[in-house]
Each structure stands twice: as C-alpha cells, then as structure tokens.
Amino acid sequence: MATDEERLIVRLEATQARFEKQLAAASRSADRRARQIESRFMAMNKHIERGAANVGRQFVAAFAATASLRGAQQLIDASTRITNALKVSGLEGAKLESVYERLFSSAMKNAAPVESLVELYSRASLVQKELGVSTEELLGFTDKVALALRVSGKSAQESSGALLQLSQALGSGVVRAEEFNSILEGALPIAQAAAAGLEEAGGSVAKLRQLVVDGKVSSEAFFRAFEAGSVILQDKVAGATLTVDQGLTNVQNALVNAVRKFDDATGASKTMADSLTKAADAIRA
C-alpha cells in the first residue's frame, strides 16, 4: 500500500503538472529567453534527481515539486501586489488595465522592474493633487523614470530601492537629504535630469544636493525639474546595451505579466492556496 509520503508526492506532482500546463497555455507570448531558462532549469532538475537516486529519489521529487510551486506562487503574489497597488490609487476595471498596460510597456521598454514602477505610480497618485499633475503627466513621469533606470544600468534590487525613496520624496512635500542620497546611489540619472531641469541647480547635481540639504526643493519642484531635464536621458541611452541583470529583469517582467493574465482568467492563486493547504493538512495527518 502507498504510504502517506508517497501519496503526498503524487498529489504535489499532480498539482504541479496541472498548474504548469495551464501556465504554459497562458504565457505563449512570453519572452523566448524565459522559456529557454525554464527549459534549462527543468533539465537541471532532472539531472539532479537522477544523481540523487541513492539518497532518496522520492524526497528530491517532493522537494522539487514544492520549490516549483513556491516559485509560481511568488509570481502570482507579485501580480496580486501590482493589482492591489493600482486599486489603492483609485483605479478599477478597464481604467486599471489601461494604466497597467502603460506601466508594463514602460518597464519592458527600459528593462525596469514592473512591480516597482507600479508602486511608484501608486504612491505618487496619492499626492497627485498636491503635486498639481494630471494622470497623463504622472504616467509620462513614470516612463521617464524607467528610462533613467535603463541609463543607470543598476540591478533590479538597487533600482527598486531608489524608486521607493523617490516615491517618498514626492509624497513628503519637501525632498529630504536622505531620500536624495538614496536616489544618487541607486539611480543617479534621475538626479542628473532633475539638476538639468532646475534653474537654481544649473545642471549641477552638487548644487541640487545642497539645495535639498537646505530644504529648498519641494516635491512639486523636483517633479517638474525631472520632467523638464529628462531630455538629457535620450542622449545618454543612445547606443547603450542592456546588462545581463536588466535582461533578467525583463524575463521576470514577462513572467509576472503572463501569470497576472493567467490568474485573472482562472483564479489560480486561490486554487494553488487551496492545494497547498490540503498538502499541509496531509503532512500533519
């Protein structure tokens, strides 16, 4: 008779197979590199499983299935956070999807982390009236920020940190030195563009920083300065080559987008949560 462990393995493998089949159907338009990476990962898993036969193939198979499900869940969680962030900004239905598509397009065009761009837009939209900007201006600002991230060539993690500080700078009324320093470290081109667009700074990042330290740069002034000075970013990005990390960021963006569409159509996040709960119950039994 099958043991509880064997039944658990079969259940996990069946859940994984069903989910991966549905996900593949929903993500045919994803970047070819994502599929290549996935294929290599699967081949590596098979190699590891064969080599681990002497230490318990069933344990390895169960672990691999659980890890794959966890990775899929992380993608679904990211897509859920994106939708929630846009809802916080007051969007829903067709308007929400329209704004998301604009932000996703900006992310892919500039190899910027889409979740971080959405979070920036969401946070800035909460102070939209204080900034005195329209929704179209806010989308244009976010697109230019994505371009600045492409120019910087920083990793997704560094870019995300800089965008968090930028969103705080926009929401605080006055740009603070701590926020500005984080922008300098994680996304220097944003500061360079703002310096170019602020008359008092005269194109000097050092002068802009001193103005920030003196408390003389409002959030609205920084927004407008970056918007005006962003023309310099086009020259900086001309002929630039994407880094490997930026390429991987686009793969992640494509996967999150595919999973988001898949989850919207099928409610996969609820299905996976239910399946994992049942698996946990089986382990406790």
pLDDT value at residue 54: 46
Taking only the tens place, the pLDDT of each residue in 171-183 is 999 999 999 999 9
86 and 118: one domain?
no
| Same domain for 135 and 64 | no
Asked if residue 3 belongs to a domain, the reply is yes
Q: Is residue 161 part of a domain?
A: yes
Residue 157 shares a structural domain with residue 219: yes
> Among candidates 93, 120, 87, 118, which has minimal Cα distance to 105?
118
- Are 77 and 192 members of one domain? no
- DSSP at 30: S
Residues 65 and 164 in one domain: no
Please report the pLDDT score of residue 155 as a whole number: 85
* Structural domain harbouring 143: 112-241
Is residue 84 within 8 A of residue 223, CB to CB? The reply is no
Q: Is there a domain that residue 220 lies in?
A: yes
Same domain, 85 and 128: no
pLDDT of residue 125: 96
Q: Could you tell me if residue 87 is inside a domain?
A: yes
Residue 27 and residue 143 share a domain: no
Which long-range contacts link 200-203 to residues 24+ away (Cβ below 8 Å)? 201/225, 203/229
- How confident is the model at residue 274, as a pLDDT? 72
Q: For residue range 123-145, what is the model confidence (pLDDT) as tens digits?
A: 999 999 999 999 999 999 999 99
| Residues facing 125 on adjacent strands | none
What integer pLDDT is reported at residue 65 of this predicted model? 45
> Is 80 part of a structural domain of the chain?
yes
Structurally, the chain folds into a number of domains equal to 2
> Model's pTM, two decimal places?
0.72
Tell me, what's the pLDDT at 73?
A: 78
Residues 119 and 213 in one domain: yes
Count CB neighbours of 108 within 10 A.
17
Amino acid in position 278: K
| 116 and 207 share one domain | yes
How confident is the model at residue 283, as a pLDDT? 77
Low-confidence spans in the chain with pLDDT less than 70:
1-70, 268-270, 272-273, 276, 285
Residues 61 and 145 in one domain: no
124 and 29 fall within a common domain: no
pLDDT of residue 20: 57
